[in-house]
Amino acid sequence: MDAGEQIDSAVAAVEGLADRPLPEHVAAFEHVLATLQDQLAQAED
């Protein structure tokens, strides 16, 4: 999976959060943050 696909996949994790319990929101946002941080670190290399 390329960088764009990984980012799109991570962002898709936050779709539909309004219908999910609040504790799941934190995990979804943490996943997006981790993915974006990984992609930025790879871009800097």
Identify the band that residue 25 occupies on the pLDDT scale cut at 50, 70 and 90: very high
Amino acid at 31: H
- Examine the pLDDT at 45 and tell me if it is beyond 80: no
Contact 36, 11 (CB under 8 A): no
Please indicate, yes or no, whether the overall pTM of this predicted structure exceeds 0.85. no
pLDDT at 34 over 90: yes
